[in-house]
Amino acid sequence: MALFRFGLTSLVAISFASATYAERPDETRLRPRWQALDVNQDGKVTLDEQNPRQAEALKRSDQNGDGVITLAEFTDFDLDPSGVGRQPVAPNVRVVADMPYAGTTDPRQTVEILVPKKPTVQGPLPVLAYVHGGGWSTGSKVMARSQVMKLVDSGRYAAVSIGYRLSWQAHWPAQLDDVKAGVRWIRAHAREYNFDTNRVCALGPSAGGQLVAKLGLTNGVKAAEGKVGPNLRQSSRVQCVVDMFGPVDLLSPPPVGQPRSVENLIGGKIADMPELARSVSALADVNKSAPPFFIIHGTKDTTVNYQNSVNLEAALRTVGVPVLFQTVEGGGHGTFGNALPAVEDRIRLFLERIFYDHSTQVPTELLVK
């Protein structure tokens, strides 16, 4: 199983719920898109009634292989497009799912914990605070599993995947408020799960990259803390950030392919709400007190402009923040081809350097997809 699988496919599928079934909020959201796939209007979405290209795409939603895409299957695919939640858990990993951090019953405001059954180092473990991508509008915390499983299985790290309210539920800065509340939850439960509160790294791809960058760059900024959850006396600081192709500069240059996602996030057009858009832009918060960063981006990313990461690295260097920048020549939006194993290993080395051995060298020479 790959350590980092960056594909952020957002295609999904659905079926009509029975009168006795308590429909999930995500099913209500996705029902119109599923119904639009019911070509013959018989109340079922089948692969047979789709054109060949659509049928091929929808096969990934058909969990039981019966040729019918139910609403639940369509929704499950939207929440976990890579299907990692249905893959086996590594032998040395214990998963604790759906722990609420905000004092609410919202399933988005929960964390999933991955801890080694048998740690291979002494004492509390460094924590990987993972934040999923999906354009702030789709995906879920289970997507962390394929991206942190090997690190946890090594016995050297714990991981906590932080869910957050999506843009169809709440506008910015609700997402940052939630992520900060998730980090505070980590500290409040450190003794219970053997977390080291002085070694927390935030990492995430795409929209998750934006959120972890923002999280790290607002370390200790009271105005950015929000008031979510019961652990407000805990710190939301992180000791390092791994930003994977995050849209961190929403004003200049515009992120290719992202305007609608950003507009949904802020509740209006960027041009009409420049200050709010600026507050989403992690680049605007760069300061000399920020923790070390590792930035990863492909030059052919057509979803988030590569220049976003170029600008962030330059700004961090200007104020003296330790930063490593890994470019993948020809890489797309998390699609790194033959370069993927090297990217994974360099992330591992970065974490080792920050949390275990400061003399660890992290190569950053150009990789080619």
CB count in 10 Å sphere of residue 113: 22
Closest to 134 in 3D by CA, of 52, 78, 71: 78
Per the document, the length of the chain is: 369
Closest to 218 in 3D by CA, of 233, 238, 203: 238
Q: In whole angstroms, what is the distance from residue 12 CA to residue 135 CA?
A: 15
CATH number at residue 305: 3.40.50.1820
Q: Write the pLDDT tens digit of every residue in 27-82.
A: 898 999 999 999 999 999 999 999 988 888 888 889 899 999 999 999 888 888 87
Residues 35 and 180 in one domain: no
pLDDT of 18 reads: 39
Residues 181 and 251 in one domain: yes
CB count in 10 Å sphere of residue 251: 15
Residues 292 and 316 in one domain: yes
Q: What DSSP element (H or E) covers 68?
A: strand 68-69
Residues 262 and 152 in one domain: yes
Q: Write the pLDDT tens digit of every residue in 112-163.
A: 999 999 999 999 999 999 999 999 999 999 999 989 999 999 999 999 999 9
Mark which of 53, 79, 105 sits at the end of a domain. 79
Mark which of 15, 50, 79 sits at the end of a domain. 79
Burial grade of 283 (CB within 10 A; 0-12, 13-18, 19 or more) = buried
Residues 1 and 50 in one domain: yes
Residues 64 and 171 in one domain: no
Q: What DSSP element (H or E) covers 29?
A: helix 25-35
Indicate the number of domains in the chain.
2
Q: Are 239 and 196 in contact (CB under 8 A)?
A: no
Domain of residue 35 covers 1-79
Pairing between strand 158-162 and 110-116? antiparallel
Mark which of 22, 57, 79 sits at the end of a domain. 79
Tell me the whole-structure pTM to 2 decimals: 0.88
Residues 34 and 156 in one domain: no
Q: In whole angstroms, what is the distance from residue 316 CA to residue 34 CA?
A: 44
Q: Are 326 and 346 in contact (CB under 8 A)?
A: yes
Residue with tokens 């295609």: 11
Residues 191 and 314 in one domain: yes
pLDDT of 83 reads: 83
Which residues are 110's β-sheet partners?
100
Q: Positive or negative, the Cα torsion across 173, 110, 191, 203?
A: negative
Residues 190 and 317 in one domain: yes
The helix/strand/coil state of 71 is: helix
Q: In whole angstroms, what is the distance from residue 64 CA to residue 113 CA?
A: 28
Closest to 333 in 3D by CA, of 297, 309, 285: 297
Residues 89 and 65 in one domain: no
Which residues are 95's β-sheet partners?
114
Closest to 14 in 3D by CA, of 56, 74, 68, 54: 74
- With a cut of 50, list the residues of the chain below it in pLDDT: 1-3, 7-19
CATH number at residue 67: 1.10.238
CA 218 to chain centre: 18
Residues 19 and 138 in one domain: no
The DSSP secondary structure of 257-273, one letter per residue, reads T-HHHHHHHHTS-GGG-
Beta carbons within 8 Å of 357's beta carbon, 6+ residues apart? none
Residues 323 and 291 in one domain: yes
